[in-house]
């Protein structure tokens, strides 16, 4: 892999300005995607991209390129400079990250970084073989992504993060089940176990029943609550959305709005997640409390939104990749604290009468300010009766205000799972939510879709 | 770039591939946005590289390299063949035959959008923002984008095609808020405006500055509007929202790779089956859907797709009956119909997938006012706000930024937080009117997600306002 930090420093040196910031993303990854137990979309990627932002005379502009030769650097600097010169002056531009004490984190595994196409194909084959007669759909992917940031204010460092993800949907025309595992070390990902779990769930979904719309008690598996929380968080826990009055937290900071069992943080330092030392602006990562014991505590910030907020607000190290910078700070390491339940069965017993949801599909943000989301359940929706999992259900449409879902929480499992939230668009950036299974007293079903299966 | 692609294809064949194609791409794109009268983003991005796709003993392999030189081409080919050879299982794949093309295609344009000075683009955004100012509007934003791409495709069958493409687009947003709620209005389209495969003249013709006062006023007015009530009623849907309705409930379900299950684990499959072709009643007689990569200015307009299949207009639904699928050469061979033509990759670093090109709801007749005139009681929906649809593309729920009640054939009160929901063939079966060609508008979406690793396709859609009876409107949230 190209030496990312060296490239970042060369880019800074090539530019002229009062402030210069370079972000290099280098990627080596492989994706063995399979369908019907056959690899059909295998993708090997090697790329380096350089994002260069120049500030001069109170004007800022940026350019990006994946050309790393001498001409490439010169042209990149010229284009970034031209972009800055074309911009009107902005007296309130945020400063750049300077030197700082960075935390030590895990997250870089040599074995994972060195996986090649043969190993990636073999790990996909492990899932396919383990599923036996049941067709499986999914992927095994692994990659090493290096982020280097250099600024004229003195920050200069790089970090390499590895990730491995196995996803399996076991399905026929009439049944389907889903499972996944994500980790920064491939030794903690077992594609065969993932496939077996998906097959086991699928085996219980035949002859699914309909369910009338209504408000139900529910148990949400980690994949389901993880995705719901991530979608909610894009607006709710964003400092920029807070300033722009799109966040659920507007006017509610310090109030207890969720069940006291609910504590949420953004914690990129947790070794159980996908740890990072600094964000895409070079600001150190830290654990950011968002909800403590049901009380709304705060949002995440990047340099620009923090500067705009004033009142000595500082960045919490949540700047997204350069291509996503326009969205403002994003909590990419959500962590919902576990509870006291020893098992999902215990949550099912707590719910007594309700529904169990393995996974949600195609979420839409209906109303960000109220945290209203819609989506469908899939690949393992079950009725809960008499404190036990009962008959399978058809896929259900739900329209829920997530604050309502979190307002009364009978319990959470002690164990948490890292749910993959990345779809691997653009430059590789793996992220996930560390979440337990959760029981809720309110989950609003607003319609019904088809039966499980493909 | 042609020589590099030929080098890659030769290396793949030498490595054991029975088929290979290589795409070399040089792309430059600019994104400019302003927010609350300040520059929010001035990005000028360049990316280049080569992607090589191979078939080895029936197994696909794909690899890419950012280096546009001989080493990059050869090494990408080598990795692709290695990956294909390692693929588990037995493989058998056929590709629908095509006549190898040696051709080139260029997007017609008056002014290359990349050549427009950045300062002019910023000035246009700031001027458009100015018109949206309103005491209740807390956030205004304006944005424009420009893209130029040179792409060369070479295949082992003899295809050599060069593309010289441009795109550009823009839009404006106004967000009003009070202590309780926030409301957004956009023009010409939500989620990043609208784009076309055209020169900068398209952006200038959008009239962002002209529309800005209306957008700001409507955002503010929505704060005082009542919530759209729940009812089973008549829905009249504007062209912009119809575009997303077409995209989600006819575009994705008719992608033949989804029908065969290859997107099952992520984006989902389809309620359609291969045997439905020619017989399935998708909707009412007013429903006519066409895939047309030859549409002037479409974001899905090209000379040849990423397999070298020439652009061809294809009926998908005719008078409510399913007549076609969106296909690749592989899926076309599998179903025994067609020859592909919808394979597209979002960059040099991704493998082509079956994607929409330009998928249109063909116009009917009459005007929007004439559609409304035949509604005693209903809701008129305008501009998408939220969307969600199940993994088989059956159960959907859409929300729009703004709506109006329809009373006795005319627009009445403004409504906020309007949603409607339905099941695809039932919903399309309730279509009883589509407005005429004078109301037909071509939009371009740049955020169509699919594939793992993910890809954003740029697709074109044209539609006129349409009327649906007995629609579930206003799903009550918690």
Please write the tens of the pLDDT for every residue from A117-155: 999 999 999 999 999 999 999 999 999 999 999 999 999
**φ, ψ for residue B98, nearest 5 deg:** -135, 160
Are A110 and A229 in the same domain?
Answer: no
| A423 belongs to a structural domain | yes
Closest listed residue to residue B56, CA positions, set A115, A138, A117:
A117
Angle at A155 between CA A151 and CA A161, to 5 degrees: 105
Listing DSSP states for B315-366 in one string gives EEEETTEE---B--HHHHHHHTS-----EE-SSTTS--EE--SBEEE---SS
Are A239 and A357 in the same domain?
Answer: yes
Are A177 and A258 in the same domain?
Answer: no
For residue B477, pLDDT over 60 is answered with no
In angstroms, the CA B188 to CA B170 distance is 8
Q: What pLDDT band is residue B475 in, cutting at 50, 70 and 90?
A: low
Angle at B138 between CA B133 and CA B139, to 5 degrees: 80
For residue B39, pLDDT over 70 is answered with yes
Are A198 and A220 in the same domain?
Answer: no
Q: Contact, A123 vs A140, CB < 8 A?
A: yes
* pLDDT per position as a tens digit, B376-419: 999 999 999 999 999 999 999 999 999 999 999 999 999 999 99
- Portion 193-252 of A in contact with B at CB < 8 A: 215, 244-246, 251
Q: Does B175 contact A246 at a Cβ distance shorter than 8 Å?
A: yes
Are A141 and A231 in the same domain?
Answer: no
Average pLDDT over residues B80-106: 92
Which residues have CB under 8 Å from B468's CB, separation 6+?
B234, B235, B236, B237, B427, B430, B431, B432
CB pairs under 8 A between A and B: 291
Answer with the one of A149, A181, A202 that is the final residue of a domain: A202
Listing DSSP states for A6-51 in one string gives HHHHHHHHH--SSEEEEEEEEEEEEEEEEETTEEEEEEEEEEEEEE
Q: Residue B188: is the preceding peptide bond cis (ω within 30°)?
A: yes
Chain A residue nearest residue B176, CA to CA: A245
Q: What is the pLDDT of residue B402?
A: 98
Judged by a CB distance cut-off of 8 A, whether residue A38 touches chain B is yes
Average pLDDT over residues B39-45: 94
Closest listed residue to residue B154, CA positions, set B23, B49, B10:
B23
| A207 belongs to a structural domain | no
Q: Contact, B84 vs B55, CB < 8 A?
A: yes
Closest listed residue to residue B437, CA positions, set B369, B367, B372:
B367
Q: What is the pTM of this model?
A: 0.96
CATH number at residue A47: 3.30.2290.10
For residue B226, pLDDT over 70 is answered with yes
Q: Which domain holds residue A195?
A: 4-202
| A453 belongs to a structural domain | no
* pLDDT per position as a tens digit, A240-278: 999 999 999 999 999 999 999 999 999 999 999 999 999
Measure CB to CB from residue A86 to each of B42, B65, B353 and give the nearest one. B42
For residue B89, pLDDT over 80 is answered with no
Q: What is the pLDDT of residue B91?
A: 78
Residue B415: CA atoms inside 13 Å, Cβ hemisphere, count? 22
Q: What is the pLDDT of residue B111?
A: 98
Average pLDDT over residues B350-379: 98
Q: Smallest CA–CA separation between A64 and chain B, in Å?
A: 4
In angstroms, the CA A236 to CA A298 distance is 9
Are A97 and A180 in the same domain?
Answer: yes
Are A82 and A146 in the same domain?
Answer: yes
Q: What is the pLDDT of residue A216?
A: 98
Closest listed residue to residue B396, CA positions, set B444, B442, B428:
B428
End-to-end CA, chain A: 40
Q: Provide, as residue numbers in chain B, all residues whose Cβ is less than 8 Å from the Cβ of A88.
A: 38-39, 122, 126
| A344 belongs to a structural domain | yes
| A234 belongs to a structural domain | yes
Q: Does A137 contact B40 at a Cβ distance shorter than 8 Å?
A: no
Q: Does B46 contact A64 at a Cβ distance shorter than 8 Å?
A: yes
Average pLDDT over residues B428-446: 98
The DSSP output letter for A371 is T
Q: Smallest CA–CA separation between A102 and chain B, in Å?
A: 28
Answer with the one of A202, A235, A265 that is the final residue of a domain: A202
Q: Smallest CA–CA separation between A47 and chain B, in Å?
A: 6
* pLDDT per position as a tens digit, B157-179: 999 999 999 999 999 999 999 99
Alpha-carbon dihedral sign for residues A297, B180, B176, B143: positive
Q: Smallest CA–CA separation between B312 and chain A, in Å?
A: 25
Measure CB to CB from residue B40 to each of A47, A326, A372 and give the nearest one. A326
* pLDDT per position as a tens digit, B270-290: 999 999 999 999 999 999 999
Q: What is the pLDDT of residue B478?
A: 42
In angstroms, the CA B97 to CA B181 distance is 57
Q: Provide, as residue numbers in chain A, all residues whose Cβ is less than 8 Å from the Cβ of B389.
A: 362, 376
Are A254 and A350 in the same domain?
Answer: yes
Are A25 and A113 in the same domain?
Answer: yes
Q: Smallest CA–CA separation between A89 and chain B, in Å?
A: 9
Q: Contact, B266 vs A423, CB < 8 A?
A: yes
Q: Does A41 contact B42 at a Cβ distance shorter than 8 Å?
A: no
Q: Give how many domains chain A has, as a whole number.
A: 2
**Best of A43, A166, A326, A367 to mutate (most B CBs within 10 Å, chain B):** A43
Judged by a CB distance cut-off of 8 A, whether residue A181 touches chain B is no
SS3 B141: strand
Q: Provide, as residue numbers in chain A, all residues whose Cβ is less than 8 Å from the Cβ of B40.
A: 326
- Mean per-residue pLDDT of chain B: 96
Are A52 and A179 in the same domain?
Answer: yes
Q: What pLDDT band is residue B101 in, cutting at 50, 70 and 90?
A: very high
Q: Smallest CA–CA separation between A103 and chain B, in Å?
A: 30
Q: What is the pLDDT of residue B50?
A: 98
Average pLDDT over residues A418-426: 95
Listing DSSP states for B408-455 in one string gives TTEEEEEEBSEEEEEEHHHHHHTEEEE--GGG-EEEEEEEEEETTTTE
Domain boundaries defined on chain B: 2-222, 231-473
**Best of A48, A138, A328, A366 to mutate (most B CBs within 10 Å, chain B):** A366
Q: Provide, as residue numbers in chain A, all residues whose Cβ is less than 8 Å from the Cβ of B59.
A: 39
Q: What is the pLDDT of residue A248?
A: 98
Are A193 and A228 in the same domain?
Answer: no
Q: Does A41 contact B477 at a Cβ distance shorter than 8 Å?
A: no
CATH class of B2-222: alpha beta
The strand pair at A287-292 and A264-267 is best described as: antiparallel
- Portion 368-427 of A in contact with B at CB < 8 A: 368-370, 372, 374-376, 378, 395, 397, 399-401, 404, 423-426
Q: Provide, as residue numbers in chain B, all residues whose Cβ is less than 8 Å from the Cβ of A397.
A: 388, 390, 395, 397, 421
Q: Smallest CA–CA separation between A106 and chain B, in Å?
A: 25
Judged by a CB distance cut-off of 8 A, whether residue A442 touches chain B is yes
Answer with the one of A202, A236, A271 that is the final residue of a domain: A202
Are A167 and A240 in the same domain?
Answer: no
Q: How far is CA A140 from the centre of its chain?
A: 17
Closest listed residue to residue B329, CA positions, set B305, B345, B301:
B305
Q: Does B265 contact A169 at a Cβ distance shorter than 8 Å?
A: yes
Q: What pLDDT band is residue A181 in, cutting at 50, 70 and 90?
A: very high
- Portion 87-126 of A in contact with B at CB < 8 A: 87-88, 90, 92, 116-118, 120-122, 124-125
């Amino acid at each position: 892999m190209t030496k990312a930090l060296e490239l970042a420093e060369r880019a800074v040196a090539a530019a002229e300005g009062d402030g210069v910031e370079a972000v290099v993303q280098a990627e080596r990854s492989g994706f063995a995607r399979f369908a019907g137990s056959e690899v059909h979309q295998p993708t090997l990627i090697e790329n380096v991209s350089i994002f260069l932002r120049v500030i001069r005379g109170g004007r800022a502009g940026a350019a990006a390129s994946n050309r790393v030769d001498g001409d490439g650097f010169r042209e990149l600097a010229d284009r970034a400079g031209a972009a800055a010169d074309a911009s009107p002056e902005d007296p309130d531009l945020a400063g750049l990250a300077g030197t700082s004490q960075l935390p030590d984190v895990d997250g870089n595994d040599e074995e994972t970084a060195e996986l090649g196409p043969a190993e990636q194909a073999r790990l996909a084959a492990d899932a396919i073989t383990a599923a036996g007669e049941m067709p499986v759909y999914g992927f095994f992917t692994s990659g090493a992504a290096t982020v280097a940031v250099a600024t004229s204010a003195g920050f200069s460092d790089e970090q390499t993060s590895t990730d491995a993800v196995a996803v399996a949907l076991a399905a026929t025309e009439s049944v389907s089940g889903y499972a996944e595992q994500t980790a920064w070390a491939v030794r903690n990902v077992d594609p065969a176990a993932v496939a077996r779990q998906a097959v086991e769930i699928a085996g219980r979904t035949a002859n699914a029943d309909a369910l009338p719309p209504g408000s139900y008690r529910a148990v949400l598996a980690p994949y389901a609550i993880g995705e719901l929380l991530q979608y909610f968080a894009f607006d709710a826990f964003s400092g920029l959305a807070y300033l722009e009055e799109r966040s659920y937290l507007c006017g509610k900071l310090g109030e207890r709005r969720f069940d006291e069992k609910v504590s949420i943080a953004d914690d990129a330092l947790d070794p159980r997640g996908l740890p990072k030392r600094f964000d895409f602006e070079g600001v150190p990562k830290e654990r950011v409390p968002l909800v403590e014991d049901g009380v709304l505590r705060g949002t995440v910030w990047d340099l620009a939104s923090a500067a705009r907020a004033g009142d000595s607000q500082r960045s919490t190290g949540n700047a997204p990749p350069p291509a996503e910078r326009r969205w403002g700070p994003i909590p990419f390491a959500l962590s919902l604290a576990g509870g006291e339940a020893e098992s999902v069965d215990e949550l099912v017993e707590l719910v007594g009468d309700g529904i169990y949801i393995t996974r949600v599909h195609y979420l839409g943000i209906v109303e960000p300010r109220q945290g209203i989301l819609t989506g469908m359940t899939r690949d393992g929706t079950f009725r809960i009766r008499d404190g036990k999992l009962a008959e399978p259900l058809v896929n259900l449409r739900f329209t829920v205000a997530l604050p309502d879902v979190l307002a009364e929480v009978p319990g959470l499992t002690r164990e948490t799972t890292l749910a993959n939230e990345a779809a691997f668009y653009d430059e590789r950036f793996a992220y996930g939510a560390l979440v337990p299974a959760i029981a809720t007293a309110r989950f609003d079903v607003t319609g019904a879709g088809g039966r499980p299966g493909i | 770039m042609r020589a590099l692609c030929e080098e890659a294809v030769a290396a793949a064949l030498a490595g054991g591939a029975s088929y290979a194609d290589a795409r070399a791409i040089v792309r430059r794109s600019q994104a400019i946005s302003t927010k609350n009268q300040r520059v929010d983003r001035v990005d000028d991005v360049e990316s280049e590289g080569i992607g090589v796709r191979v078939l080895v003993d029936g197994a696909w392999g794909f690899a890419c390299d950012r280096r546009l030189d001989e080493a990059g081409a050869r090494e990408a080919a080598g990795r692709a063949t290695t990956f294909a050879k390692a693929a588990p299982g037995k493989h058998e794949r056929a590709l629908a035959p095509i006549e190898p093309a040696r051709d080139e295609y260029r997007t017609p344009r008056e002014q290359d959008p990349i050549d427009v000075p950045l300062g002019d683009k910023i000035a246009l955004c700031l001027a458009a923002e100015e018109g949206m100012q309103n005491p209740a509007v807390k956030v205004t934003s304006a944005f424009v984008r420009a893209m130029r791409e040179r792409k060369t495709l070479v295949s082992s069958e003899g295809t050599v095609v060069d593309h010289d493409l441009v795109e550009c687009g823009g839009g404006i947003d106004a967000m009003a808020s009070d202590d309780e709620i926030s409301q957004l209005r956009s023009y010409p389209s939500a989620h990043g405006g609208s784009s076309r495969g055209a020169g900068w003249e398209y952006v200038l013709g959008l009239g962002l500055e002209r529309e800005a006062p209306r957008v700001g006023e409507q955002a503010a007015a929505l704060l005082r509007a009542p919530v759209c009530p729940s009812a089973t009623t008549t829905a009249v849907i504007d062209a912009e929202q119809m575009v997303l309705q077409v995209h989600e409930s006819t575009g994705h379900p008719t992608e033949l790779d989804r029908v065969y299950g290859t997107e099952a684990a992520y984006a989902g499959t389809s309620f359609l089956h291969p045997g439905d072709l020619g017989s399935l009643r998708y909707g009412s007689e007013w429903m006519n859907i066409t895939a047309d990569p030859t549409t002037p200015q479409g974001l899905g307009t090209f000379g040849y797709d990423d397999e070298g299949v020439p652009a061809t207009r294809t009926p998908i639904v005719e008078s409510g009956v399913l007549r076609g699928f969106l296909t690749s050469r592989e899926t076309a061979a599998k179903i025994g119909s067609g020859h592909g033509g919808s394979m597209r990759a979002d960059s040099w670093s991704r493998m082509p997938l079956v994607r929409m090109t330009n998928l249109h709801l063909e116009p009917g007749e009459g005007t929007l006012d004439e559609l409304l005139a035949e509604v005693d009681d209903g809701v008129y929906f305008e501009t998408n706000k939220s969307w969600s649809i199940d993994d088989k593309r059956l159960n959907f729920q859409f929300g729009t930024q703004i709506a109006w009640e329809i009373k006795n054939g005319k627009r009445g009160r403004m409504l906020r937080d309007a949603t409607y929901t339905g099941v695809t063939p039932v919903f399309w079966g309730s279509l009883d009117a589509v407005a005429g060609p004078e109301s037909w508008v071509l939009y371009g979406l740049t955020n169509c997600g699919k594939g793992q690793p993910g890809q954003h396709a740029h697709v074109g859609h044209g539609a006129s306002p349409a009327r649906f009876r007995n629609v579930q409107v206003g799903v009550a949230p918690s």
